[in-house]
Amino acid sequence: MKLQGKTAVVTGGAQGIGFGCAIELAREGAEIALVDRPGNKELAKAVATIKEIGVGCVGIEANVFSHTGSQCAIDQTLSEFGELDILIGVPAFNRRSNFLDYPPEDFEAILQSALLGSFHVGQLVARHFVAKEKPGKIVFISSVLARIPNARCVAYSAAKAGLNSMVKTMAVELAGYRINVNAIEPGWIDTPGERQHYNDDTLAAEGRKLPWGRLGLPEEIGKAATYLSSPDSDYVTGTILPVDGGYRFKHCRDIPEETA
């Protein structure tokens, strides 16, 4: 197992893409600290599921949108496992609205979650790696919406684009410490969050519009995160990796046959 003896902290890890990442890292032997917002009822169930794989796992309730909350999550991880080797940052907060009607407080909340929260936890984990004089892996979950315009997602797209830029800058500055920093851009992934907004028929229809013919699964993002957390990716840094079933090209069409 490629991550045997490693400890990973996964923010937003109670469900959806975060949980998919945690499961795949655990299957490769990593011990897992699952971090999610206080009061998330899915956290205990997620911890129990990962423990069934046979690795150590702890659930941590913390608001990593803030510096204090991020520090709390890291401190609890170190208290439980004694070490930290991998950060999987999964900021997954979104609110949809038309640009003209978008509430400023919602825009600020999404920036706080996806961008500032990622800065806080990323900086603290990187400082830990540097202080310990050890290499480390940092992987953030971005989105294809960072590069593809989508109506009613102005704040989310802006925050994820900022995250991509931050990842590249972090990669340049931290390479000398042998800290890899990368991001994954999921396309449309079938998560509990999406199912709060769309029924089965709608999700299936949207999946058929993609070149791959279906929506992605959280575990498929997890497999990419596992690669970027493993020694196989030691020479990979500053990369923004799309894992989207061709979502970026869903509007491409065959050229019609000539009729003249």
Domains and CATH numbers, the chain: 7-185+221-238 (3.40.50.720)
Tens-place pLDDT, residues 128-170 = 999 999 999 999 999 999 999 889 999 999 999 999 999 999 9
Q: Encoding tokens for residue 10?
A: 């996964």
Per 3-state DSSP, what percentage of the chain is helix, strand, and coil (rounded to 5)?
50, 15, 35
Q: Residue 257: its pLDDT value, please? A: 74
Q: Give the residue-averaged pLDDT of 204-231.
A: 97
Q: Give the residue-averaged pLDDT of 223-237.
A: 99
Q: Residue 252: its pLDDT value, please? A: 78
Q: Residue 149: its pLDDT value, please? A: 82
- For the entire predicted model, the pTM comes to 0.96
Contact 216, 185 (CB under 8 A): no
Active-site entry in 156, 198, 235, 247:
156
Edge-to-edge strands, sheet with 86-89? 57-61, 31-36, 7-11, 86-89, 136-141, 179-186, 240-243
Q: Which residues of 65-94 are buried (b: 16+ CB within 10 A; e: fewer)?
A: beeebbebbbebbeeebeebbbbbbbbbbb
Tens-place pLDDT, residues 43-64 = 999 999 999 999 999 999 999 9
Q: Residue 255: its pLDDT value, please? A: 67
Residues 6+ apart with CB under 8 A from 230: 2, 3, 28, 137
Choose among 159, 217, 211, 161: nearest CA to 188: 217
Q: Residue 93: its pLDDT value, please? A: 77
Q: What mean pLDDT is reported for the chain?
A: 96
How far apart CA 161 and CA 144 sit, in angstroms, is 9
Residues 6+ apart with CB under 8 A from 28: 1, 2, 3, 4, 226, 230
pLDDT tops 90 at residue 94: no
pLDDT tops 80 at residue 253: no
Confidence band (pLDDT; 50, 70, 90) for 254?
low
How far apart CA 186 and CA 164 sit, in angstroms, is 13
More confident of the two residues 257 and 26: 26
Is residue 156 among the annotated active site residues? yes
Confidence band (pLDDT; 50, 70, 90) for 258?
confident
- 150 DSSP assignment: -
Contact 168, 195 (CB under 8 A): no
pLDDT > 70: what percent of the chain? 98
How far apart CA 214 and CA 247 sit, in angstroms, is 10
CA 99 to chain centre: 25
CA 165 to chain centre: 15
- 99 DSSP assignment: G
Instruction: Return the ∠ at Cα 140 (arms to 56 and 36), rounded to 5°.
Output: 50
